Amino acid sequence: MKIFFSKYYTVKTPGHVFRADKFRAVIDLLLREGVINKKDITAPAAPSAADLKLAHSQAWVRKNLEFRFTPKDSALAEIKITRAVALAHLMNAGGTLAAAGAALRDGAGVNCGGGSHHAFRGHGGGFCLLNDIAVAVKKLLKEKRVKRAMVIDLDAHQGNGTASILRGDRRVFTFSMHGSEIYPPEKEKSSLDIGLRPGTGDAAYLAALRSELHRAMDRFRPDFAVYVAGADIYRGDALGGLKLTMGGIKKRDAFVFGECRLRGIPVALTLSGGYAVKFSDTVRIHANTVKAAMSSFRNPRRPSAAPAA
């Protein structure tokens, strides 16, 4: 299974709660533990303007490609948009596109980054500039490589940008399970939103996920999925407000990949948020998710051989 990562993902954001160096740290941990080796890692190409315009306005695409941001753009994204920051976001979108392509070939593809679900069609938001999820989904649909795509967004925050961009496209189902009391203050409407009370722990979280995702997949029958696997549902997270243990998050990941595998649905993994007070906890949780993807799809079923779920 391929894992996509670019050296351009790493950008210094001193003092900012979003540490872009976490993705490099995940790669290093996986290498150190022998889960992956260097030949598994592929650097993605930057997405084209045409790809980005599938999900974004022409004006926003131009700003991103020409690095012409205003102070208001930075304020909306809640991150100072330097050239390096913009390049990181661009390459992250390339990584998710590449992971989506790999998923169709191999059953699963991993972007060791991505999941910028707060980026809207014409502006950034919540540390996100380009919605890599929507770009990848729109591209596979346009190329008729998939017919029905599901976004499984289990980051602690609602996938508001994704919901906004993809709303009205009947070929896409956006599933978002998130804390109801945290950012974004005004939620968008996903195909299915499950708002969780602050302090929700393993048992209640997993029960809701198992019943709701199972049912949504039964009804929608996607032939492709993007998994937005935020680590910020962890009880040690500074922003998420939920109380899942690392073991609970492992069960979350096993369930998602298990459902996809059982139904023969190729899945592209994006890592998204994660702001644990202890940096190494965020890195460990993301690495666990990559491991779950790898073990679940070591012997993938070919999508065409899948039973009608």
**Only segment of 75-83, 104-112, 218-226, 231-239 that touches Zn ion (CB under 5 A):** 231-239
d(CA 175, CA 216) in angstroms, rounded, equals: 8
Write the DSSP symbol of residue 7.
G
Quick note: the x/- pattern for Zn ion over 56-95, rule CB under 5 A, is ----------------------------------------
Q: How far is CA 83 from the centre of its chain?
A: 23
Minimum CB separation of residue 53 from Zn ion in Å reads 26
Identify the residue among 232, 253, 259, 281 touching Zn ion (CB under 5 A): 232
> Is residue 179 part of the contact set for Zn ion (CB under 5 A)?
no
In angstroms, what CA-CA distances link 39 with 36, 82, 91, 254? 8, 31, 19, 25
Write the DSSP symbol of residue 303.
G
Helices and strands of the chain, counted as H and E runs: 10, 8
Q: Which is nearer to Zn ion, 51 or 155 (CB)?
A: 155
Identify the residue among 47, 161, 273, 300 touching Zn ion (CB under 5 A): 273
**Only segment of 1-9, 127-135, 271-279, 299-307 that touches Zn ion (CB under 5 A):** 271-279
Task: Return the sign of the alpha-carbon dihedral for residues 66, 69, 73, 78.
Answer: positive
Minimum CB separation of residue 95 from Zn ion in Å reads 18
In angstroms, what CA-CA distances link 30 with 26, 92, 113, 284? 6, 19, 14, 9
Query: DSSP characters for 234-297?
Result: BTTBSS---BB-HHHHHHHHHHHHHHHHHTT--EEEE-----BSSHHHHHHHHHHHHHHHHHHT
**Only segment of 45-53, 74-82, 95-103, 223-231 that touches Zn ion (CB under 5 A):** 223-231
Residues in 111-170 that interact with Zn ion by CB under 5 A: 155-157
Q: Which is nearer to Zn ion, 157 or 252 (CB)?
A: 157
> Is residue 230 part of the contact set for Zn ion (CB under 5 A)?
yes
Minimum CB separation of residue 110 from Zn ion in Å reads 19
Report the interface residues with Zn ion, using CB under 5 A. Answer: 155-157, 230, 232, 273
